[in-house]
Structure 1
Amino acid sequence: MLAHLSLKQFAVVSAAELSFGPGLTVISGETGAGKSLLVDALGLLSGLRADSGVVRHGADRAELVADFTLDDAPLAAAWLRENELDETGDGDAPVCQIRRVIRADGGSRAWVNGRPVTLGQLGDLATRLVEIHGQHEHQALMAKSSQLDLLDAYARNDGVREPVARAAREWSALLRERETLFAQGDVSDRIGWLEHQHAELERETLDPEALSKLTADHRRHAHAAGLIAACETAFARIGGDEGPSLTRTLQQVRGELQRVAEHESRLRDVDALLDNAAIQIDEALSLLDRVRDDLDLDPAAFEQIESKIGRLHELARKHRVAPEQLAATRDGIAEELEQLRGAGVRLEKLDVEIDTARKTWRKSADALSQSRRDAAKSLSAKTTELIGELGMGGGRFDVAIETVEDDRPDPQGGERIEFMVAANPGQPARPLRKVASGGELSRISLAIEVAAFGLDAVPTMVFDEVDSGIGGAVAEIVGQKLRALGGSRQVLCVTHLAQVAAQGHAHYRVSKAASEGVTQSAVQLLVSKQREEELARMLGGIELTKEVRAAAKRLLADVV
């Protein structure tokens, strides 16, 4: 719910700070004082476009800030988490701060929890936080999708709507798969081409170990002459063919040291090391001999290896991959071949699966349709009764349901709805979004919300001039309905009627005055006697008599 609203340099408001609690908060003031500016501010914080005219004269920018608690707004909290804009306040309770700055040059920026956002994001978030009912077209109830959501909430269709959406997703996935297979057309030519490519790759040994061995063999054959010469030279030098043998020299040194080792014990350690060196030299000579025997100047073998490497590089160029990726390419071709060869069989199975999915969706959609039709009758009757109580006697509210003839997987079900209203007797019902009178629109919206009793998930509802064009007993009924709605939702109402204002759990007064030739508005939270005085002003105008004050006091006393 909305906890705090701050306005700075906004229109005729220099600065205002308002705190809100649960229940019904009413806002009153003289005509032109700027009481609807609070609604305008929430509209701008909800993503409406603004122009420089909202910036107070002489200021370089207007700043609007709204703080919301999210205990009663799970959809908003989820949206913030999904968009990585979530924040927590005291006690780790989720909170949301929306801030918007509008510059005098017409520019605008917005932030959510201190992070910059687009107006589109602001609008998405606001639809989960606040719903504005008034003389403007931006309110949520004007949208058919919101009307459908409200009807489903009224019917408690969560458990019925989800199977429809799930069946639609499954049906759509099968249709897409079939379209993909059809788009391939005659695949026989491609199968033949892929089989040729696969056969080429299958003839080669492409596993990593084989490629590594082939590379090593090529390197060894390419340098065979140099390797043989190096091995023979090393063998000759170590074995003594080109000078004293290392092994014989070591044996002589060891004999000389052993004769004197009894006089210096550390020489025995030297003898042990030399013994190990002799063993290592013998093993080195043995390995050199084996390596030399394995080396062979075989031009035919070298040519065969080069030919194989050449084929691999040619295949790599052909498939535009590195030689090491040819195995993966071969496996990918094999997988595609398997899919193409089974395409015909898969198409036959898909037809059966699609028909089953369609029937599943239809069964779930029919159950949802019946629930909606039952709920539409009930909501229509309750709302029609309420709009009569709200001063629109003879008016009628209907939920029009139109069946969607197109047999397609629609996650919303098999019909569309629209709220229809006949504001006066004898008039044809028209879409709610086309109702001309702002006051009528507000009262109809109030009637719908009261009938649904706050079943939609938006925690804060704002009614602007909901009492326009009414008075007397009807105005008192409007106030009572707003107060009743405040039992389940936070309700803010801009009003000019004392009968409505008296029903508020809290009451703000907006006033204006000229200071140094500049008009300024101020906002004040009223308590006790202040409320009586404001109600008396709303009842009696300029001259506040004892009778008017008594009537104001009685209005407050009669609130239950």
Structure 2
Amino acid sequence: MLIHLSIKNLAIVKSLDIDFRQGLSVITGETGAGKSIAIDALGLCLGDRAEASLVRANSSKADVSATFDTTQLLNVQKWLIDNDFMDADEVPADLIIRRVISSEGRSKAYINGFPVPLQQLKLLASNLVSVHGQHAHQQLLKPDMQKRVVDNFADHADLLHDVKSHYGSLNQAHRELELLLGEQQSRTDRKSLLEYQVQELDEFALSENEFQELEIEHKKLSNSQTLLEQTQKSFYCLYDADENSAMNAVQTSVEMLAELQEHDAELSPIVAILNEALINLDEASNQLRAYSDKLEIDPMRMQQVEQRYSKALDFARKHGVRPEALYNCHQLLATELSELNKQEESLDALQQQLSVLNSQYLKSAKKLSESRIIASQALAQQVETHIQAMNMTKAKFSVQVDFDPRQSASSSGLDRIQFTISTNPGIAPDALDKVVSGGELSRVGLALQVISSKGNQIPTMIFDEVDTGISGPTASVVGKLLRKLGASCQVICVTHLPQVAASGNQQMFVTKFTDNETTETHMICLKENERIEELARLLAGDTLTDSAIANAKELLQHYQ
């Protein structure tokens, strides 16, 4: 529970230290004195947004810290252990949360002296304090809030998780289906084009590297007559021209120089070179003869190669690629067509999957609805009991849960939940916003907050003027209700009602001091005689009469 709150240079507070006890602590004070300043400061420790305007004028920073006793808070201890703020064998000590806000609006948060991001602070805070603001009752008019209240009361987190999980799968499948359907026309058009292109290329059936081979063969066949004539002529010049052939000339030179090398050894290398030339000339002549013998002039083959080569060039121009890349282009188009066919198959499979997912979602949503119906009956009965005790003796409260499988799926199920009430006999129940006054709504809201607090593990509940619009005997009932709640958890309540103030186990008084230059807010814990004076002020105004004092004493004794 919260045991201490320290505030420095926050708004109109210069320095303030407050000790809190178990039970119901009430905060009262003059209008505009800053009764909610402690709640605002604690909110900063719980992760509320910080602004530069919160820093007291002429101060460089505001500093607030809240100290909690975690001895009995096993879930908080586990969180601290899991996040390395304490060891598993460590004896639980006080938990200190600190928030520092600079005059520029920057803020820092600390848990037991360790700096932490704000999101982590909020996770811890959700296990420590539950705050109910003075405008919280208005939220009850919203259908989503009514649904949340029922779910919190029902405590069926596992059913909510199932619905949310099935909804996530169903929603993902819907998005995939919408994407496929949205692209279906363009996919169909593209598929038709690809089918034509791939079929055309399949029929042509160009193999890998075939174009390069066609190009070589085409060039050879195109020049086959010239190749034959020139190679035969070369062979004649090298070998077959009798005395005028290259072979004969080199042979003659070799014979002449062979005789001379006996007279000059320097000619020997030249003779060796010429002998090697003879060998090469002979080899070249043989190869030329073989080449020209096998070289055929085949007009039919020339026509076939010409046609296929030209067709390959046409396809390359048609697809906007180099002829050498036509084979790869064919493979890419075939792959794309295959992928489009798979998407068509996926569309059919996805539609079948959607049917299964939708069935699973409906089943889980129906189970959730059945649990809500059971919980809503118990919730309505308890709310009705509480509000009848708060001077709404003829009120009839009910919770309608309508399961509608025709509405769009949502992560919270398929229920329409509405709180209805009849405040007078003979009047049909209707929605809260059409029936109740502000004070009656406050009573309904307070009843729901008290009911929803039962069984939760949050040790501290804060009510910031939630009794607005309540007075007279009803205020007395509210005070008793809050005091009873304080027996099971720590309750802090900002109030202007003397009946609620008298019901507190501890009463804080907030006052404002000004010297025409600066303004400060002070908060003190009242002793019994001081409480009587404050209760008398709440009962009778600023002028304290003997009658008001007597009434205050009687009121305080009634609750203590």
Tell me the TM-score normalised to structure 2 length: 0.59
Secondary structure of 2:411 counterpart: coil
In 2, Cα distance between equivalents of 1:75 and 1:194: 66
Q: Deviations over 1:1-21 (max 9, x none)?
A: 545433223343221122335
Q: What is aligned with 1:148? A: 147
In 2, Cα distance between equivalents of 1:96 and 1:433: 45
What fraction of aligned residue pairs are identical, expressed as a percent? 33
**Equivalent pairs, count:** 427
One-letter code aligned to 1:153: N
Q: Deviations over 1:139-160 (max 9, x none)?
A: 8757654432321121232232
- The 8 Å contact of residues 67 and 94 in structure 2, kept in 1 or not, is answered as no
- The 8 Å contact of residues 386 and 451 in structure 1, kept in 2 or not, is answered as no
Residues 140 and 488 (structure 1), Cα distance of their counterparts in 2 relative to 1, 3 Å cut? farther
Q: What is aligned with 2:156? A: 157
Gaps of 5+ in 1: 205-317, 320-330
Residues 99 and 30 (structure 1), Cα distance of their counterparts in 2 relative to 1, 3 Å cut? same
Q: What is aligned with 2:131? A: 132
Gaps of 5+ in 2: 210-319, 322-330
In 2, Cα distance between equivalents of 1:413 and 1:556: 45
Q: Deviations over 1:411-455 (max 9, x none)?
A: 210024354567788698455699773x55543321112233435
Q: Deviations over 1:455-499 (max 9, x none)?
A: 567554322233445445432321121123334443210123343
Q: Deviations over 1:31-72 (max 9, x none)?
A: 443223323444566676677765545545544444567775
Q: What is aligned with 2:106? A: 109
Q: What is aligned with 1:491? A: 491
Residues 68 and 17 (structure 1), Cα distance of their counterparts in 2 relative to 1, 3 Å cut? same
Residues 141 and 429 (structure 1), Cα distance of their counterparts in 2 relative to 1, 3 Å cut? same
- The 8 Å contact of residues 101 and 110 in structure 1, kept in 2 or not, is answered as yes
Q: What is aligned with 1:367? A: 367
One-letter code aligned to 1:483: R
Structure 1 or 2, whichever has the larger Rg, is: 2
One-letter code aligned to 1:169: G
Secondary structure of 1:108 counterpart: coil
Q: What is aligned with 2:25? A: 25
One-letter code aligned to 1:381: Q
Q: For 1:316-331, what aligned pairs fall within 5 Å after superposition?
A: none
In 1, Cα distance between equivalents of 2:125 and 2:108: 13
RMSD: 5.1
Tell me the TM-score normalised to structure 1 length: 0.59
Q: Offset of 1:354 from its aligned partner?
A: 1.6
Q: For 1:86-235, what aligned pairs fall within 5 Å after superposition?
A: 87-88=85-86, 91=91, 97=97, 99=99, 101=101, 103=103, 107-113=104-110, 115=115, 130-136=129-135, 144-182=143-181, 183=183, 185-186=187-188, 187=191
In 1, Cα distance between equivalents of 2:379 and 2:8: 42
Q: Does 1:356 align with 2:356?
A: yes
Q: What is aligned with 1:554? A: 557
- The 8 Å contact of residues 442 and 465 in structure 1, kept in 2 or not, is answered as no
Q: Offset of 1:116 from its aligned partner?
A: 7.3
Residues 448 and 86 (structure 1), Cα distance of their counterparts in 2 relative to 1, 3 Å cut? farther
Residues 407 and 445 (structure 1), Cα distance of their counterparts in 2 relative to 1, 3 Å cut? closer
One-letter code aligned to 1:149: R
Q: What is aligned with 2:464? A: 464
Secondary structure of 1:521 counterpart: strand
Residues 75 and 393 (structure 1), Cα distance of their counterparts in 2 relative to 1, 3 Å cut? farther
Residues 407 and 522 (structure 1), Cα distance of their counterparts in 2 relative to 1, 3 Å cut? closer
In 1, Cα distance between equivalents of 2:179 and 2:519: 67
Q: Offset of 1:109 from its aligned partner?
A: 3.0
Residues 29 and 540 (structure 1), Cα distance of their counterparts in 2 relative to 1, 3 Å cut? same
Secondary structure of 2:134 counterpart: coil
Q: For 1:124-523, what aligned pairs fall within 5 Å after superposition?
A: 130-136=129-135, 144-182=143-181, 183=183, 185-186=187-188, 187=191, 340-395=340-395, 397-401=397-401, 407-419=407-419, 429-431=430-432, 437=438, 440-454=440-454, 459-514=459-514, 518-523=518-523
Q: For 1:517-532, what aligned pairs fall within 5 Å after superposition?
A: 518-526=518-526, 531=531
In 2, Cα distance between equivalents of 1:521 and 1:451: 34
One-letter code aligned to 1:358: N
Q: Deviations over 1:155-211 (max 9, x none)?
A: 2322322222222223233334434444362346568989989xx9x969xxxxxxx
Q: Offset of 1:524 from its aligned partner?
A: 1.9
- The 8 Å contact of residues 137 and 433 in structure 1, kept in 2 or not, is answered as no
- The 8 Å contact of residues 9 and 56 in structure 1, kept in 2 or not, is answered as yes
Q: What is aligned with 2:254? A: none
Q: Deviations over 1:285-327 (max 9, x none)?
A: xxxxxxxxxxxxxxxxxxxxxxxxxxxxxxxxx99xxxxxxxx
Residues 128 and 402 (structure 1), Cα distance of their counterparts in 2 relative to 1, 3 Å cut? farther
